[in-house]
Structure 1
């Protein structure tokens, strides 16, 4: 059985318009996934020249903008088909579905447990110049039935379309039910952005709101107690990591291979239990224990404020246990110490910024090089339309060399400052958290003392009146 998934590739917002199309073609023709190109084939084009041919078609008909191409994925059942047969099935699908109208490249990947085929085709017909128009209902009425028929001819199992339609319908209803959740997350994200001066502060604000942050490549957030996380880039074009960082005027920093930055974890402790529980299970256990009964409603994200208060109580418990707090004097001493530590951290950050000043031009050149790196690599692979970008990249490398730095040295410099900045940021966050907890506990202790004093005063007054009447 093969299931067909349909995707499309938009025009890139910056740089080369067909960048996503170029990335997609390069991905599906990856030698490590295709037995060194054995399972790669072109349709109405040569695979190695597919991008240039597709762009030439767009240019010829004056349709270089907007949607650039389409990406279909045919996923087969595990151990049901060999690479050769899957390649034949995908090829027959391409020949019948695209015919002579579209340039396409198709490939079969065998790097996962499930053999799957990829098809990328131009958005513009090479015969008439008309664009491919995907309509609602095409998948269940045309695309998947064609896949089923070809699979049946090869003796493979087929997808039950009625069952698939019902699942798609249920998924659509679930997405509608999540629309309110998406709006709520967007409001919180907008508020966190408004209150932040940098991308790192924005992440801290989200955490302080009670969100759990996930994902290294794509940022996802999960409300306390919610079953699944929500990717921010699925909330709209303005919520991708790139666009969020641009709001602070700072481009994404490349992933490093140097010293590992410590991961920040959140722990919840449950005493008197030897059984291992996940963090989510611990949160549920504590919440239900304090309420005295299980919650009937599984949508626990509605109770975000209550769970946030629960986490604060757990933080305070851990803090008291870690520092063995006995009285308010200890809390005041810790609070004063954290103020001094924050001042030292702030001074270290200012010193780091001063250190960066002589390197600003180098780091700026590095950012420009990173923006053109992909286009330069594509030109070296034979895509002549990236010649101008390649020239720009070489000129930037020349400027860097005139300053006495190689590209690797510039990247090492950037990595050095990033590591120091990230360590200081994590240290600042940890100190600030301890300061807030200490001050919060002091306020609670003072409030408790005041209440006890008031209660003693109330208890003393009636007894005094009682003695007066007796005399």
Structure 2
């Protein structure tokens, strides 16, 4: 059985790599670089960030692949499975990855440190909950291929899973209605509140509406949920441990809040664009109105009246006449603004700034070319070492 778990850490990429590479936890033959040399992995990952000017934000992603102690598995075989796991996931393509296998505990486990910036595209590494589940499914497939046990999971509502057989049976009885578990009730309430919230405050309110008090402060290490009816307490960390779900962490909850907020903002943005387009359309129609106030899109009845009055005196302006006076005023203002901009550009200090900006851009291009050469040299050395 191999379990995939995401680790939330604020450590630097150098600290993370040095930690997973400690001699008391692993050995040289159990350390591998995918698209990087394990000896120079830190420098290569930093160079990639420098190349694409993406040195801020999340520096890396950290995943752990843990194996069941009851499975007969050597560290070397676990390391091999770790390599297969990376190569069989297109999500990791183009990312420098350090893989280490730890054998210092009863259960053998792999660590994956993944550079947040893709060296081929410059894009950052992001994982949705569906992609995370796909990783777990791929790990389960590899477990089957290598004769290892595979965790079972429930297909009931709530998407709550367990990789422990005893806990799985408790969950099964709960969903069948033959037994109740306050831990599962709490987990389902958290899932429901998480999907509706865009902030910690929203989440606490949603949990309150479901009958739970939530202790979540910056000064407390743990988030605790209290059922107001029974007084039962459940820690968020207990839910994460029980169901092996990274969404049951502070970081997991916060990430889901941000995704929900982003979806809502994109939805509001689309409506806002539509309303602005309507405003532009109205302004366009006003600009093209005739002196009689009619626009281009006249109703059929008015067109009939126009055709019927052609033999009479045509005192009014035709409906599709362009408002020349308004157009001339618009052109005059535009010309005036362009003249002022051109005057500013012709000043000595403006010319100096333009030259300095061009020099800075040329220096940046030179630095990028040098970084590209460094990365390519490191990649070549890595390919030679793996032959």
TM-score (norm 1): 0.37
Give 1 or 2 for the bigger CA radius of gyration: 2
| Greater helix content | 1
